[in-house]
């Protein structure tokens, strides 16, 4: 499992009956990979995992493995209310042909470190798949500090990466200071990617890439190559859209961008509802303004 590059946290498309649209999801994943993405992360927060039944999750993973055709890794996000269900999903992901796991702390219950360590360890140990720990204290209320990440890495040989979404890019440097050779660090906050790369991040689990893969991959590559001027020109244009990934309605917003650009639908499952009224109009204007000044990038 090569933990590097731009990996979309792929959205889950729904048909008019709000059932998973597997045919479109396969085409969407293949399009993202053709545009330079290095893998697919399915069942994440952006993928509306809490609204998906267990069997739906497994079916999505199988569709993504089909889409990747063995040429790119498929990473399954593992999250649930219970450790037992998370372990079962990890095993199902391995059986479905996934290459890696992105492991989250439990939903809802904010466990202490002893409990969190046991939960994460059970998932890491459930399969031999390479794992990425997902740290998002803003969304989940559990914060893996660098020392705890190091402890988990020392105890579990298949923990190879961290998705750092604390919104504090200093965490990237802090993790590297403790374990610079072992762990690959991904950024999970779209509007912090350039800053995080500057202190050692080598991957991006991205959101707006679902609608704008060419721009996302170009931004990432320029930043990794140290081409600051080119990176900033894209970043300056992209930031108003990237910031849509950082607010509570990020799923509705990103799916709306996809719809406005003709690469998806804005449909979401309840309790989320599609944007409406002035909120919808303001977002559509933001998207139109961005598209009117869209940079010309080959791809």
| Amino acid 299: pLDDT | 61
% pLDDT > 90, the chain:
91
Give per-residue pLDDT as tens, 64-97: 999 999 999 999 999 999 999 999 999 999 999 9
% pLDDT > 70, the chain:
99
Where does the pLDDT of residue 182 fall: very low under 50, low under 70, confident under 90, or very high at 90 and above?
confident
Q: What is the DSSP secondary-structure string of 165-226?
A: -SS-THHHHHHHHH-TTT-EEEE--GGGHHHHHHTT--EEEESGGGT-HHHHHHHHHHHHTT
For residues 268 and 48, the answer to whether their CB atoms sit within 8 Å is: yes
| Amino acid 181: pLDDT | 76
The three-class DSSP label of residue 272 is: coil
pLDDT at 198 exceeding the cut of 90: yes
Residue 62 is a catalytic residue: no
Give per-residue pLDDT as tens, 203-223: 999 999 999 999 999 999 999
The catalytic residue among 35, 57, 62, 134 is: 134
Give per-residue pLDDT as tens, 254-292: 999 999 999 999 999 999 999 999 999 999 999 999 999
Residue 134 is a catalytic residue: yes
| Amino acid 108: pLDDT | 84
pLDDT at 179 exceeding the cut of 80: no
| Amino acid 137: pLDDT | 82
Return the CATH number of the domain spanning residue range 5-234: 3.20.20.70
pLDDT at 190 exceeding the cut of 80: yes
Give per-residue pLDDT as tens, 243-253: 999 999 999 99
| Amino acid 33: pLDDT | 98
Give per-residue pLDDT as tens, 135-153: 988 777 788 999 999 999 9
Give, for 151, the enclosing helix (H) or strand (E): helix 146-155
Q: Domain extents for the chain?
A: 5-234
The catalytic residue among 35, 57, 62, 163 is: 163
- Mean confidence (pLDDT) of the chain: 96
| Amino acid 139: pLDDT | 77
Where does the pLDDT of residue 24 fall: very low under 50, low under 70, confident under 90, or very high at 90 and above?
very high
pLDDT at 154 exceeding the cut of 90: yes
For residues 66 and 98, the answer to whether their CB atoms sit within 8 Å is: no
């Amino acid at each position: 499992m090569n933990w590097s590059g731009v990996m979309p946290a792929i959205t889950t498309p729904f048909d008019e009956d709000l059932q998973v649209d597997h045919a479109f999801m396969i085409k969407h994943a293949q399009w993202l990979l053709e545009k330079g993405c290095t893998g697919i992360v399915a069942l994440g927060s952006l993928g509306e995992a809490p609204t998906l039944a267990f069997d739906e999750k497994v079916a999505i993973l199988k569709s993504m493995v089909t889409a990747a055709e063995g040429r790119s890794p498929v990473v399954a996000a593992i999250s649930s209310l219970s450790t037992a269900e998370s372990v079962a999903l990890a095993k199902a992901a391995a059986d479905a042909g996934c290459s890696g796991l992105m492991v989250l702390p439990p939903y809802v219950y904010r466990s202490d470190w002893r409990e969190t360590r046991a939960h994460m360890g059970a998932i890491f140990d459930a399969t031999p798949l390479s794992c990425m720990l997902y740290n998002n204290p803003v969304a989940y209320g559990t914060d893996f500090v660098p020392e705890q990440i190091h402890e988990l890495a020392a105890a579990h040989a298949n923990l190879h990466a961290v998705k750092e979404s604390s919104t504090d890019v200093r965490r990237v440097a802090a993790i590297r200071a403790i374990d610079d050779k072992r762990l690959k660090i991904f950024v999970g906050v779209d509007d912090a990617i350039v800053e995080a790369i500057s202190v050692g991040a080598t991957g991006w689990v991205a959101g707006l890439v679902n609608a704008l893969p060419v721009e996302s991959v170009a931004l990432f590559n320029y930043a990794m190559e140290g081409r600051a001027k080119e990176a900033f020109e894209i970043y300056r244009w992209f930031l108003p859209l990237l910031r849509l990934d950082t607010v509570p309605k990020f799923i509705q917003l990103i799916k709306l961008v996809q719809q406005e650009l003709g690469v998806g639908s804005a449909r979401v499952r309840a309790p989320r509802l599609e944007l409406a009224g002035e909120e919808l109009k303001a977002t559509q204007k933001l998207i139109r303004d961005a598209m009117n000044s869209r940079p010309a990038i080959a791809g």
